[in-house]
Amino acid sequence: MPFDFNKKLDRINNHSMKYNVFSKELLPMWVADMDFESPDCVKQALIQRLQQGDLGYTKAWPELNESIVSWCKARYDWEIQAHWIAWLPGIVSGFNMACSGFNKGKVVVQTPNYPPMLQAPKLSGQVSSELFVTFNANTQRWMFDFNQLETFLSDETCGLFLLCNPMNPHGTMLSENEIKKIIQLCKQYNVQLCSDEIHCDLAFEKQHIPAGKFDPTAITLMAASKTFNIAGLGCSFAIIQDTKIRKIFTNQMKGLVSWPSSLGLEATFSAFQDGEPWRIALIKQLKVNRDLLVNSLNKMTINNKVIFKTHLNDASFLCWIDCNHLESLTKQTAIEWFKTAGIMPSNGVDFGAQSFVRINYGCPEFTILNAIDKIKIHLLKFN
């Protein structure tokens, strides 16, 4: 086997956030990084840079930018130019920059959502227009309502739609028609579109459509960080075709947002240059994990009553679990129930949803099996 996704990575003694914030007794399945080693190509590039010994400020170099141009063409059939790329130390900085650069008072954000995205409008003194994302049992898909979106965008004090696609926490990916409809509505009501696409290279069955492919004025935020497990290196980028919009966006960096790290740039380059075979193998493993976890959870019962509702997400390594039945049967909050089972998921409340948890399945299959065992053993006390 060329890539090993079943190796145990020591993340306790290296001060990883995931393993060192909550009690060591709990199996950590919360923060969104993976328990897999980064690909060899990335490790080798970093070793080379460290051996060379220069860790000073680093300017993005032409071959690095070209690796993104080629990646966008190969993966998304999106023809971009190198000078459209604005380098950033993180996507969170990027969407907060969009909030301050296009501030008219209100920002549309999906909810439930990645917590820093929910918080972003307030940080620039704005009000959030919460675009509700709900589960449709017929389509088995979490989605928002375009009528509600249009109502929000048509408000003259709305300056920005902060889109998350693929969505976090539900993993929904938008279709080409949906993206085009969003672009058309943003144009119609003169609202800036900023699309956080950090999870886009982790798509399973569907094809991801970058917002910038059909909208020259869109701010498209991307990174190699989630896909190649290099989030700790602080490196991402925005792709913005329109010169004026790009200038407004990059102006927001002044005095607040630093350059990406030299190691982050090196890692990103090697990932986009040589990481594709590893990414393909990773997707295969994540799909096995997703199917195993979702199918097991959906079968679990208390007194013959189903306790979890979850679904096969389109992208990434996050499983969003409806625990309403569990809570009413056990009279415990979902997060407390999982903790007493010995597992630390992310708390849905932080994403704007009561009675939900999010489990990160970016880990070896044996960890998923371990989690399923813990849940089953805990369930014995209720059956």
Ligand X SMILES: Cc1ncc(COP(=O)(O)O)c(C=O)c1O
Cα separation, 170 vs 172, whole angstroms:
6
Determine if 114 is a binding residue for ligand X (CB under 6 A). yes
Determine if 196 is a binding residue for ligand X (CB under 6 A). yes
Determine if 91 is a binding residue for ligand X (CB under 6 A). yes
What stretches of the chain show up as alpha helix (H) in DSSP? Answer: 17-20, 40-52, 62-76, 91-101, 115-123, 146-153, 176-188, 211-214, 243-251, 262-274, 276-299, 324-330, 334-341, 365-380
Binding part of the chain for ligand X, among 84-92, 274-282, 345-353, 364-372 by CB under 6 A, reads 84-92
Least Å distance, CB 201 to ligand X, is 13
Place of tokens 């928002």: 144
Determine if 345 is a binding residue for ligand X (CB under 6 A). no
Cα separation, 290 vs 318, whole angstroms:
8
User: By CB under 6 A, what part of segment 92-111 binds ligand X?
Assistant: 92
Pick the closer one to ligand X by CB: 240 or 375. Answer: 240
Structural contact between residues 326 and 307, judged by C-beta atoms closer than 8 angstroms = yes
Pick the closer one to ligand X by CB: 174 or 198. Answer: 198
Residue with the shortest CB distance to ligand X: 90
Among 38, 192, 236, 330, indicate the residue that binds ligand X (CB under 6 A).
Answer: 236
Pick the closer one to ligand X by CB: 97 or 375. Answer: 97
- Residues in contact with ligand X, total (CB under 6 A)? 13
Determine if 90 is a binding residue for ligand X (CB under 6 A). yes
Q: Please name every residue paired with 195 in a beta bridge, in sequence order, or none if there are none.
A: 163, 220
Determine if 198 is a binding residue for ligand X (CB under 6 A). yes
Which one-letter amino acid corresponds to residue 36?
F
User: Where is 222: in which H helix or E strand?
Assistant: strand 219-222
Compute the Cα dihedral for 210, 211, 215, 220 and give only its sign.
negative
Binding part of the chain for ligand X, among 85-93, 101-109, 153-161, 246-254 by CB under 6 A, reads 85-93
Structural contact between residues 352 and 111, judged by C-beta atoms closer than 8 angstroms = yes
180 token code pair: 């085009």
Determine if 231 is a binding residue for ligand X (CB under 6 A). yes
Least Å distance, CB 223 to ligand X, is 5
Pick the closer one to ligand X by CB: 108 or 341. Answer: 108
Structural contact between residues 198 and 95, judged by C-beta atoms closer than 8 angstroms = no
The answer to whether the peptide bond before residue 166 is cis (omega within 30 degrees of 0) is: yes
Site string for ligand X, 41-80 (x = CB under 6 A): ----------------------------------------
Cα separation, 36 vs 38, whole angstroms:
6
Pick the closer one to ligand X by CB: 164 or 183. Answer: 164
Site string for ligand X, 157-176 (x = CB under 6 A): -------x---x--------
Pick the closer one to ligand X by CB: 231 or 323. Answer: 231
Least Å distance, CB 13 to ligand X, is 23
Cα separation, 315 vs 70, whole angstroms:
22
Site string for ligand X, 210-229 (x = CB under 6 A): -------------x-x----
Going by C-alpha positions, the residue among 45, 35, 76 that lies closest to residue 263 is 45
The footprint of ligand X (CB under 6 A) covers 32, 90-92, 114, 164, 168, 196, 198, 223, 225, 231, 236
